Amino acid sequence: MNPNISEFHSGVIAPVECVKEGWNLIKDRYWLFFGISIVGLLVGSAFAIVLMGPMMCGIFICFLQRKRGEQVEFGTVFKGFEYFVPGLIVQLIKAIPIIVLMVPFYIVMLAVMFSNMPRGGEPIDERSVMFPMFGIEIVFFLVVIIVSILIELFFVFAFPLVVDRRLSGLEAIKLSFRACKANFSGVLGLLLLNAAFGIVGLLCCLIGAYFYLPVSFASYVVAYRRIFPEIPQNFPLPPPPPASWA
């Protein structure tokens, strides 16, 4: 019987085990995966939303190959461009909530600034401007953190699904949402654990978080493979859908 590419397991994520297994997965080639992670994110962030999706696909191609026991080369990260459109779609939809948050934030900030502008030659009271703006920024920062966690919680497997199951952008998002919902506590625990290690890394001269990145990616691949079992090599997956916007 052929496997269903939409099937997934539930209740199989143990956060600490995923991190440990992720480290064991890459530790003998750590610097290769460190370079893949850093370059992939740098290239993706240099062109904001446009290239981040394809580069994330490329990063997960490398880690999934490692998980399958295949040879990984640095240039493999650029194979993510074979999934340019589905990767772009995933990244665009991920970015929408943050963009929606930014609009009212700047509107409120401008309103505070204009409402405290001096009138009739009165001197500027800096405290009347700085304190409200500082408070707004703190609230906005906390809201962004919460929203970002929620977004990542349900999108975390979208890029692996694009490259592993050859799904379109929307199909990958829908399936990732369903799988993460069925594994809510485990996925949330893994996200928070990786975030905690990232914060510890930031406290270590700020750059420690970058050294943890490959372990973080590896832990997500371990979790992904626990939820979505390996498809047999002879199973006819569809080709990458670079021309599909759905």
**pLDDT (tens digit, 9 = 90+) per residue, 116-153?**
665 555 555 555 556 666 666 677 777 777 878 888 88
Q: What is the pLDDT of residues 191-205, one digit of tens each?
A: 999 989 988 887 877
Q: What average pLDDT does range 216-243 have in this prediction? A: 78
**Res 97: pLDDT:** 83
Question: For the segment 69-120, what is each residue's pLDDT rounded down to a tens digit?
Answer: 999 999 999 999 999 999 999 999 998 887 887 777 777 666 666 666 655 5
Kindly give, in sequence order, each residue whose CB lies less than 8 Å from that of residue 192, ignoring residues fewer than 6 positions away: 15, 149
How many residues would you count in the chain? 246
pLDDT, tens only, 26-35: 999 999 999 9
Q: Is the dihedral of CA 29, 33, 35, 36 positive or negative?
A: positive
Instruction: Output DSSP code: residue 236.
Output: -
Mean per-residue pLDDT, 43-65: 91
- How high is the pLDDT of residue 221? 97
Average pLDDT score over residue span 5-26: 92
* Mean per-residue pLDDT, 181-194: 94
Does the pLDDT value for residue 21 go beyond 70? yes
User: pTM for the full model?
Assistant: 0.82
Residues 24-50, mean pLDDT to the nearest whole number: 92
Predicted confidence at residue 78, as pLDDT, reads: 95
One DSSP character per residue, 50-110 reads: HHHHHHHHHHHHHHHHHHTT----GGGGGGGGGGHHHHHHHHHHHHHHHHHHHHHHHHHHH
Per-residue model confidence (pLDDT) at position 85: 94
218, 22 in Cβ contact below 8 A?
yes
Give me the pLDDT at residue 152, please: 86
pLDDT-derived band at 218 (thresholds 50, 70, 90) equals very high
pLDDT for residue 80: 94
Residue 245 is predicted with a pLDDT of: 42
For residue 9, pLDDT over 70 is answered with yes
